[in-house]
Amino acid sequence: MASLVPCPHCGQRPKEEFTIKGAALTRPAAGAEAADWFDYVYLRDNPRGAYEEYWHHTSGCRRWIVVTRDTVTHDVAASRDAADRARSEART
């Protein structure tokens, strides 16, 4: 019926404005092992608790964000722009 997703750019917005893609996995490097690619494309965890997901603010600012959502309570612990996360991962 209702719930809110915090967008780092637009604030709390109704979930109907968003599209969910699923687990926010890091894309393997071009030359990665086949097994890494299989994991990336097909394997998903199903954790009870915190889970990082890609959400797209499709009917809003059109930014992709990484939302840390609790799969039990649906509480959102964090949300950040996907580009910021990708850049910080590239640095580490």
Partner 1 sequence: MSSYRLPKGGLVDREAPLSFTFDGRPLRGFAGDTLASALLANGQMLVGRSFKYHRPRGILTAGAAEPNALVTVGSGGRTEPNTRATMQELYEGLEAQSQNRWPSLDFDIGALNGLLSPFLGAGFYYKTFMWPAPLWEKFYEPFIRKAAGLGKASYEADPDSYEKSWAHCDLLVIGAGPTGLAAALTAGRAGARVILVDEGVQPGGSLLFDTAMIDGKAAADFARAASAELQSMPNVRLMMRTTAFGWYDGNVFGAVERVQKHVRDPAPHLPVERLWRIVARHALLATGAEERPLVFGGNDRPGVMMASAMRAYLNRYRVAPGRATAIFTTDDSGYALARDLEAAHVDVVAIVDSRSSAGVDYRGKARLIREAVVCGTKGRKAISAIEVHRGGRTETIAVDALAMAGGFSPIIHLACHRGGKPAWSAEKAAFLAPDGLKGLDVAGAAAATTDLAACLAEGATRAKAIVTEFGLSCPPVVLPKVEGDEGRHTAKPLWSIPGVKGKAFVDFQNDVHLKDIGLAVREGYSHVELAKRYTTNGMATDQGKLSNVNAIGLIAKARGVSPVEVGTTTFRPFYTPVSFGALTGAHTGHHFQPVRKSPLHDWAKKHGAVFVETGLWYRSSWFPRTGERTWRESVDREVLNVRKNAGLCDVSMLGKIEISGRDAAEFLNRVYCNAFLKLPVGRARYGLMLREDGMIYDDGTTSRLEENRFFMTTTTAYAAGVMNHLEFCAQALWPELDVRLASITDQWAQMAIAGPKARTILQRIVDEDISDAAFPFLAAKEVSLFGGALHGCLFRISFSGELAYELAVPAGYGVSVADALMDAGKDHGIMPYGVETLSVLRIEKGHVTHNEINGTVVPADLGFGKMVSATKSDFIGKAMLQREGLAASDRPQLVGVMPLDPSQSFRSGAHVLATGAAATLENDQGYVTSSAYSPHLGSTIGLALVKNGSSRHGEEVMVWDGLHGESSPARLCNPVFFDPQNQRLHV
Residue 68 tokens read as 């840390």
Per the listing, tokens 């039990």 go with: 72
Closer Cβ to partner 1, 47 or 74, answer by number: 74
Q: Does 71 bind partner 1 (CB under 8 A)?
A: no
Contacts with partner 1 by CB under 8 A: the residue count is 39
Asked if 81 is part of the footprint of partner 1 (rule: CB under 8 A), the reply reads yes
With contact defined as beta carbons under 8 Å apart, do 68 and 51 qualify? yes
Q: How far is the CB of 44 from partner 1 (least distance, A)?
A: 14
Please report, in angstroms and rounded to a whole number, the separation of the first and last CA atoms in the chain.
40
48 counts as binding partner 1 under rule CB under 8 A: no
